[in-house]
Copies of this chain bind each other. A is one copy, B any other.
Amino acid sequence: MTGREIHLVARPAGAPQPGDFALVETDVPEPGDGQLLVRNTWMSLDPAQRVRMHAGSSGYLPAFELDRPLDGWAVGTVLTSRAEGFSEGDTVLHNLGWRDYAVVDPASERPPQLLHVDADTPDRAYLGPLGWSALTSYVGLFDVAELRTGDIVFVSGAAGAVGSLVVQIAKVSGHIVIGSAGSAEKVAYVRDTLGADAAFCYRDGDVGELLRAAAPDGIDVYFDNVGGDHLQAALDVLRVKGRIALCGAISSYNASEPVPGPSNLFNAVAKGLTLRGFLARMYVHRMDDFRRDMQRWLADGSVVYAETVIEGLDQAPAGFVDMLAGGNVGKSIVRI
C-alpha cells in the first residue's frame, strides 16, 4: 500500500515557505506485533511546531529531522490492530500526523488514546475543543496563572486556537477580559463573538499604549501566546502580585538569531510578579476536569469554537505557512 507524508526538506530561514516542505510517496509498512495501522482523518497545525524546524534543541521537543516526515497530533481510524485493547474501526488520537497512514505503537513513550466518538463529538473535536490546545487554554488560566476572583485578564493571539478559548473560559468564569489580535476582523470577532470586554489590533500602534488604553485599571493575569512587545507591555501594565502564563512566543518563532527578552523584567521584582511557563502535557492530570467543564460549556453555548479547515494533506504546508502569518481564526486543522 502506498501512503503519502510531508517531509521537511529545508530549515526555514524566517517565515516558512511551501518549498521548505515536500509531499513524499512511501510504502506503508505492515504493523508489527503490538502495533496499529491507522488511517489518519484529521491532523492539527500548531505554531510551536515552528520551533522544532530550527536545528538543534531549544529545550523543547527534539528538532524535526530533514527529509523525514514531520509529526504532530492527529486522529484516525484503526485499519488493522495487532495490539490488545484496540480493534479495527476504533478512533484514536496519536502524534503521528503529517501522513495519511501511520503505524502507531501503544507501547511507545506517547501512546495512542482510544476516543469516544458520537454524534455530538466527532473525531476532530479531539484536536479542537477537547484537544491539547484547548487543555492548554484551561490549565494556563486555572493552574499556571492561578486565576482568582476579580482578576482582569489579558490574552494575546486572542483569535487563535488557544487564545479564543482563553477569552471565553475567562468570561464564563466571571472575569474582565482584554484580547489582542492581528487584524480589525479578528478584533471584531474577539469582542463580538467571543465576548471580550475590550480588544485591540496590535498593528495599530505601540502595544504598551494600546494595552493601557484597553485596560485603564491594569491587568492581573497575562496569558502570553506571543512574547516580544506584548510581554514587555504586559510587564508594565500588570498590577502588584500579577501573573503571566508563558504559553508561547510566536513573535520570535521565525527568528534565526536569538531575540532579546523584555528590558523591563525588573517590574517582576518591584511588583512581585510571577511568570510561569508550561506545556499542556505537564498538566495531563487535568484532562478529565477540563473535558467535563468544556463539554458543559459547549453544550450550554457559553463557549463557541472556530476552526480553519485546510482540505487535504497536500495543502498542510500552505496551511501551516498561512497560520504562522496570522491567516487563521481559531484552530487550524487539516482534513486528510
Contact = CB atoms under 8 A, between A and B. Distances in A.
Interface in A248-296: 248-249, 252, 258-279, 282
Contacts of A268: 246, 275-277
A268 B140 CA distance: 13
22 contacts: A51-B266, A59-B264, A59-B271, A227-B266, A241-B282, A246-B265, A249-B265, A249-B266, A249-B269, A258-B263, A260-B261, A261-B262, A261-B263, A262-B265, A265-B277, A266-B277, A270-B277, A270-B279, A272-B276, A272-B277, A273-B276, A273-B277
Nearest to A60: B270
A263 B252 CA distance: 10
A273 B260 CA distance: 18
A247 interface: yes
A58 interface: yes
The 6 tightest CB contacts between A and B, nearest first, are A261-B261, A268-B277, A260-B260, A258-B263, A269-B277, A59-B270
Contact of A269 (B248, B258, B259, B264): B248
A: contact size bracket:
35 or more
B259 A263 contact: yes
Nearest to A283: B272
Contact of A266 (B58, B265, B267, B270): B58
Contact of A275 (B236, B271, B275): B275
Contact of A276 (B259, B261, B263, B274): B274
A265 B261 contact: yes
A47 B257 CA distance: 33
Interface of A: 51, 58-60, 227, 236, 241, 246-249, 252, 258-279, 282
Nearest to A248: B269
Contacts of A282: 241, 272
Contacts of A236: 59
A210 to B, nearest CB: 19
Among A246, A265, A269, A271, which residue has the most Cβ atoms of chain B within 10 A? Answer: A269
A249 B266 CA distance: 7
A263 to B, nearest CB: 4
A241 B60 CA distance: 13
A269 B278 contact: yes
A58 B259 contact: no
A246 B258 contact: no
Contact of A267 (B247, B259, B277, B278): B277
A265 B232 CA distance: 13
A258 B265 contact: no
Given A252-B266, A272-B278, 17 more contacts: A58-B266, A59-B236, A59-B267, A59-B270, A59-B271, A60-B266, A249-B269, A258-B263, A260-B261, A261-B262, A261-B263, A261-B264, A261-B265, A269-B278, A270-B279, A272-B279, A275-B275
Contacts of A247: 269
A217 to B, nearest CB: 16
B274 A274 contact: yes
A177 B270 CA distance: 26
A269 B279 contact: yes
